[in-house]
Structure 1
Amino acid sequence: MIDTSKPIPLGVFKKPIARMWEISGEKLTAIEERLAQSGDEALVYTRKGRYTSRGWTDWTRGFQVGSMLLQAEAEDSSYFFQWGRENTIERIQHHLTHFGVHDHGFTATSTYGALLRLMDEHFIEYNEWERTCYVQALLTSGSVQAHRWTELGGGYGFIHSFNGPHSLFADTIRSLRALAIAYLLGGVLRGEQDQEYCLLDRLVTHARTTCKYIVFCGEGEKTDGYDVRGRVAHEAIFNVRTGTYRCPSTQQGYSPFSTWTRGLAWIILGCAEILEFLNMLPKGVTRPYREAVAEIKQALLDAADYYIESTPKCGVPYWDTGAPGLKELNNWSEREADPFNDKEPVDSSAAAIAAQGLMRLGKIIGKHGEKYTIAGRKIALTLLDEPYLSLDPAHEGLLLHSVYHWPRRWDYVLEGAKIPYGESVMWGDYHLRELALYLLRLSPKRSYYRFANFHWKVSVA
């Protein structure tokens, strides 16, 4: 369990964050220089410290390119900005019209969305045609993502995963940013005979459906014998003909009845960002969604409490709370996580994602949300130091001890070891950078970091 009894001042992060950005810049440069020689590829995870690809879906390029833009913003670097902008056009453009995935929040939002925000926050020089390019890309991405829809009826429905129309993933909650941005830019989804579908409505409906069928609270039609408040299923399965919920499932977790901790982290960060976004809108716009907003907030609180209660003291979780080897790690939730144990791997990428979400939740709640703020900062301090921060210049990863797909044994295991450790994943590195930027922008001299920090076009009066 994460100890949230002692506040952590922002000042303690100054030196660790500065060191991280220095290391981060060196690693990004080394990766790009290697790719310039060997040829471009969608980097996913490291094997023996070297980033490589893995065929499943091409979903990690947004993290790869988005990391350049985070680096540019943190260091006020025209060098990394130019790299990020050029690679957004070269590597991300074809993702904008990809109807087959649920990942637009990871691809387009982390790149085109970042560029629009940087221009409107005056980080880069304003150029009307360039901004129009970013806006058009984000309008396209939001509508394409919203089009991937399964209607359940009764006020429920969801953006289905790449598995098909029966499949709702926990991960997709963070892709709702694509719909939010497109909505704020005046976008709508148009279908047959010019029928219009409100992007805000689809966003809220997906979030509400996720919170009902993915996040467990001890009651409702999805309750099972393993129900624990805040437990998260990676996937929910539906009968698409009747709109009926059938069962929980998982792709990357241990079982449908345990919690894959990266899925839990996606819920925490995704729900927190959506609540922040909805709170920015006038009450007249959100009034029809009051019940749904309350459901999202409660699910977020349930998931956040579960994370705090079921994670080791340092804030880094094991990859699944039901992983069978945990029973051999005595009192594992009451001790520091051990990434070098021989029973079950930790997943530092889940920690990097969850930390930002916990701090955002703390800010949403205010004075009564201090425990979430402390938990998020505790995790950040852990990740910004050894053994999680990669200090080896020969290792291309930034955040060590992350896993990709342990059930399929895709993760590299060192000869003689029984579990993976010492490796990185692209989304883990990205979210550590974004976590550091979030902390930097908590300074009284800086504006608060939100994905919606750009000039809105939609009328929300």
Structure 2
Amino acid sequence: MIDLKSAPELKALEPKLNQFFDLAKTKITAIDAEYDNSKGSPVFTVEGKYTTRGWTEWTEGFRYGISVLHFDATGDESSLKSGRDQTVSKMATHVSHIGVHDHGFNNLSTYGNLRRLMLEGRIPDNEWEKNFYELAIKVSGAVQAARWTERQGGGFIHSFNGPHSLFVDTIRSCRILMVAHRLGHVLMGEGDKPINLLERALQHIESTAKYSVFYGEGRDSYDERGRTTHEAIFNTKDGAYRCPNSQQGYTGFSTWTRGQAWAIVGFAEELELLKEFSDEELAPFGGRSEIEAMMLKAATATADHCIENTPVCGIPYWDTGAPKLHLLGDYMDRPADPYNAYEPVDSSAAAISAQGMLRLGHYLMAKGDSAVAEKYIDAGLKMSDSLFAEPYLSTDPKHHGLILHSIYHEPNGWDHKPESGKAAYGESSMWGDYHAMELAVYLQRLIKKAPYYTFFA
């Protein structure tokens, strides 16, 4: 399990963050100069250079979001210009994209961060520019909410696999519905029926908590508290839940660690948002106590499982049930080995989980539960300490990536293997780099006692 006792003090991370931000400038410039945009969105690196993968265009917003967040951290105007100009020129199709469940990834990383910076006074206030960002968020939130499947007792935003499919990832797309709702927007349906975006977001979060997360309550023979499944399958004829499944994990009965990471950060962020809603606004959907209890149960369960099933350094292997892990021996009692012969690690899962751990700890600390809060804060700090140092920090200026040893799709064999007889290693992903940047900005603001960074500004 993660060695919480060796977690650093928050302030001790500052030199590593500064090095990370310096490296990020080199990588942003290199990608802008060298990447062939005609090939589509950059997804992951092969031999150190970003390449695409024709599945869905779910990573483009991360690319420009990295530039915007680099400005957030450093004040570098050229990074702001790169992120802002490319958001304006290239992101419109993502706002109206009806075929994906990734709006919260693409559009909050770009339009959302730019709007937040304007509200914080970090970029000049311009009413028309702010209206542009807000219109994009409103439309994106409504389009995402329209990707809807009714289930028995609720509903969910279905994945690009089809109306039967609930992905654990999509909890992070609920953010775009929440922001659009807070901007006063609704989805208009047939017969001019207004559809409440807050209601849809909360129903999706509940579906994720109920069907994507396990609690050790005997749901199946592999039910461990905090385990997650990548995909939950439903019968679209009657809305009944059928079974767990996995696309990018090993099986529906093991935990794909990046999927679990999405759950950890997703529930933690939505818990932070709850305080922004009045009791009256939450009452029609079960009330504050019921909603908070549901989210907190899922957040703590997934975070605890992650802590208990990750090596001491805080960097997980790609799936807790990966079939060759046993060949690594006592792999949980030593730092993860990205160069091993059997199973890859996934640094992107660490980048995502670390932010979730820190946010969950911050939330619980504010609630007065300091003893439990410190566990999650220490976990987040330990994961960050490992992530922003070699062998995970990409210090080679010729390598496009920021964080090494990220895995995209192990079952499909999409990840580059530089050596025969070894697991995939040495490459980066656009989502891993973005979430490392997001984590770094979050930590920097805590260190500097700057305004607390949230997606809802």
Provide TM-score, normalisation by structure 1: 0.95
For residue 174 of structure 2, give the secondary structure of its aligned residue in structure 1.
helix
- State yes or no: 1:204 paired with 2:208: no
Taking only the aligned residue pairs, the percentage that are identical comes to 51
Q: In 2, Cα distance between the equivalents of 1:153 and 1:255?
A: 25
Contact kept in structure 2, 1:148 and 1:160, CA below 8 Å: yes
Q: CA deviation at 1:450?
A: 0.3
Q: In 1, Cα distance between the equivalents of 2:428 and 2:421?
A: 17
Contact kept in structure 1, 2:312 and 2:334, CA below 8 Å: yes
Q: Deviation per CA, 1:98-141: give whole Å up to 9, x if none.
A: 11100001111110001110111001001111111111110000
Q: Match for residue 271 of structure 1? A: 267
Moved more, 170-179 or 271-280: 271-280
Provide TM-score, normalisation by structure 2: 0.96
Q: CA deviation at 1:298?
A: 0.1
Q: Match for residue 374 of structure 2? A: 370
Contact kept in structure 2, 1:71 and 1:433, CA below 8 Å: yes
In structure 2, the CA distance between the partners of 1:344 and 1:360, relative to structure 1 (3 Å rule), is same
For residue 46 of structure 1, give the secondary structure of its aligned residue in structure 2.
strand
Q: In 1, Cα distance between the equivalents of 2:269 and 2:103?
A: 15
Q: CA deviation at 1:296?
A: 1.4
Moved more, 85-94 or 300-309: 85-94
Q: Match for residue 386 of structure 2? A: 382
Q: Match for residue 228 of structure 2? A: 232
- State yes or no: 1:73 paired with 2:72: yes
Q: Match for residue 431 of structure 2? A: 427
Match of 2:454 among 450, 453, 460: 450
Moved more, 344-353 or 271-280: 271-280
Contact kept in structure 2, 1:113 and 1:134, CA below 8 Å: yes
Q: Match for residue 19 of structure 1? A: 19
Gaps of 5+ in 2: none
Q: Match for residue 355 of structure 2? A: 356
Q: CA deviation at 1:91?
A: 1.7
Alignment of 1:276-355 (within 5 A): 276-287=272-283, 288-289=286-287, 290-355=289-354
Q: CA deviation at 1:58?
A: 0.6
For residue 409 of structure 2, give the secondary structure of its aligned residue in structure 1.
coil
Q: In 2, Cα distance between the equivalents of 1:314 and 1:79?
A: 35
Q: Deviation per CA, 1:19-53: give whole Å up to 9, x if none.
A: 00000110110110113x77563100011111100
In structure 2, the CA distance between the partners of 1:78 and 1:40, relative to structure 1 (3 Å rule), is farther
Residues matched between the structures, number? 449
Letter of the structure 2 residue corresponding to residue 342 of structure 1: A
In structure 2, the CA distance between the partners of 1:40 and 1:122, relative to structure 1 (3 Å rule), is farther
- State yes or no: 1:167 paired with 2:172: no
Q: In 2, Cα distance between the equivalents of 1:414 and 1:442?
A: 38
Q: In 2, Cα distance between the equivalents of 1:127 and 1:342?
A: 54
Contact kept in structure 1, 2:14 and 2:447, CA below 8 Å: no
For residue 386 of structure 2, give the secondary structure of its aligned residue in structure 1.
helix
Q: Match for residue 29 of structure 1? A: 29
Q: In 2, Cα distance between the equivalents of 1:258 and 1:38?
A: 37
For residue 132 of structure 1, give the secondary structure of its aligned residue in structure 2.
helix
Q: CA deviation at 1:217?
A: 0.7
Q: CA deviation at 1:285?
A: 2.1
In structure 2, the CA distance between the partners of 1:426 and 1:38, relative to structure 1 (3 Å rule), is closer
Q: In 1, Cα distance between the equivalents of 2:388 and 2:150?
A: 43
Contact kept in structure 1, 2:8 and 2:385, CA below 8 Å: no
Q: Match for residue 187 of structure 2? A: 189
Contact kept in structure 2, 1:5 and 1:371, CA below 8 Å: no
Gaps of 5+ in 1: 454-461
Q: Match for residue 178 of structure 1? A: 176
In structure 2, the CA distance between the partners of 1:50 and 1:295, relative to structure 1 (3 Å rule), is same
Q: CA deviation at 1:6?
A: 5.1
In structure 2, the CA distance between the partners of 1:340 and 1:415, relative to structure 1 (3 Å rule), is closer
Q: Match for residue 417 of structure 2? A: 413
For residue 442 of structure 1, give the secondary structure of its aligned residue in structure 2.
helix
Q: Match for residue 133 of structure 1? A: 132
Q: CA deviation at 1:332?
A: 1.1
Q: Deviation per CA, 1:270-297: give whole Å up to 9, x if none.
A: 1111111112222332343332321111
- State yes or no: 1:394 paired with 2:392: no
Q: In 2, Cα distance between the equivalents of 1:278 and 1:293?
A: 8
For residue 224 of structure 2, give the secondary structure of its aligned residue in structure 1.
coil
Q: CA deviation at 1:218?
A: 2.1
Q: In 1, Cα distance between the equivalents of 2:212 and 2:34?
A: 40
Q: Deviation per CA, 1:152-173: give whole Å up to 9, x if none.
A: 142x210000000000000000
For residue 324 of structure 2, give the secondary structure of its aligned residue in structure 1.
helix
For residue 91 of structure 2, give the secondary structure of its aligned residue in structure 1.
helix
Q: CA deviation at 1:444?
A: 5.3
